[in-house]
Structure 1
Amino acid sequence: MKTVLTNKNISIRTRRRALECYIEPILMYGCEAWTISKQTQKKLEATEMWFLRRMMRISWTAKKTNDTVLEEAHTTRLLISKIRKRQATFFGYVMRREKLENLVTTGMLEGKRSRGKQREKLIEGLTDWLKAGKSLEAIEATKDRKKWRTMIANAVKQGT
């Protein structure tokens, strides 16, 4: 794909589309189950910018900011919002099923918690992204598909 993505004879729009169709699905494989920390988010954003810089043939030693590269490519950062949207869609599906996956995802299993700082749960990351306030509000919103889709659409529109 390197020859296609770096070919100057092909428009940037077509190269961007090829990136979205062939490379991003591989990158985002299994993203529905990820918990995205700040560090992971930075790495994903860096990867997205690396792809854009390679497509535009901009060296990492060139003194160009990420904003300048995004302007030249006529695009914005979309990878994190795509991942969050897929996570939210999957989470809604799991919550409506009300089976074992539901218990595992919400973390409402019986037993003792391990020592130390607890890992971030998927629900916590989604409630922050959706600005739902509490995780119970997000869980209740999944029961009503129309409301859940509206929440997801609003979060994607805000671009967080």
Structure 2
Amino acid sequence: MTISRQPTPVTIKIDQKQLENVKCFKYLGSLLTYDGRCTCEIKSRIAMAKAAFSKQKNLFTSKLDLNLRMKLVKCYIWSIALYGAETYTLKAVDQKCLESFEMWCWRRMEKISWTDYVRNEEVLFRVSEQRNTLHEIRKRKANWIGHILRGNCLLKEVIEGRGRRRKKMPNDLGDIRGYFHLKEKALDRIKWRNCFGRDCGPVVLTDYR
């Protein structure tokens, strides 16, 4: 056995025709990369969401009620940025990008220029909002991974990961030391919903023993 940091070349042929190896490609609207990371996908999604915001800028910055405009942003803009977010394995840099995008939306909606020295806390106070992007992703992860753990398919093994101890998708949900308790809890749909719920409260692994 030879162990190397260099990726092993993969050759796949269909009807004697060799398939081209690429570093990334788009499938069902998501950008898939050769290393399985989601950083490129997150940046791509944020760029598309910002473009969509710019097209409807007059609506989002109009004199409509603030709560209505916030709902429109979450409905039409966040849905673009967070498409497929339940499968993300977030690194610290990815979390910062998502939080920065969230603040970008509120600043543009309130017509706050990047040259204005306005702290994020002040912006959140003006819109009567808290940082919700990462929490929303954790909620989606909890709902999705519960469905996966109750099944018996290959994806259940993929999300657990093997080999090098790189950060895995379930790590974003809480303490990985309780992962086996997490799987037991997922088998009971009622207990799972009681543990994670569908409300806007904190999503933490505190009731899985």
Is 1:148 the counterpart of 2:192? The answer is: yes
Match of 2:18 in 1: none
- TM-score, normalization: structure 1? 0.84
**Structure 1 position 151, deviation (Å):** 2.0
Match of 2:174 in 1: 127
Are 2:139 and 2:198, in contact at CA under 8 Å, matched by a contact in 1? no
Match of 2:94 in 1: 40
Are 1:127 and 1:138, in contact at CA under 8 Å, matched by a contact in 2? no
More strand by share: 2
* Paired amino acid for 2:184: E
For residues 59 and 80 of structure 1, do their structure 2 counterparts lie closer, same or farther at Cα, with a shift above 3 Å needed?
Answer: same
- TM-score, normalization: structure 2? 0.66
Give 5+ residue unaligned stretches, structure 1.
none
Give 5+ residue unaligned stretches, structure 2.
1-55, 205-209
Identity %: 33
How many residues align structurally?
149
Match of 1:23 in 2: 77
**Structure 1 position 158, deviation (Å):** 2.8
Q: Distance in 2 between matches of 1:52 and 1:139?
A: 38
Q: Distance in 1 between matches of 2:113 and 2:144?
A: 37
Match of 1:136 in 2: 180
Match of 2:60 in 1: 5
Are 2:196 and 2:203, in contact at CA under 8 Å, matched by a contact in 1? no
How does 1:47-126 map onto structure 2 within 5 Å? 47-107=101-161, 113=163, 118-126=165-173
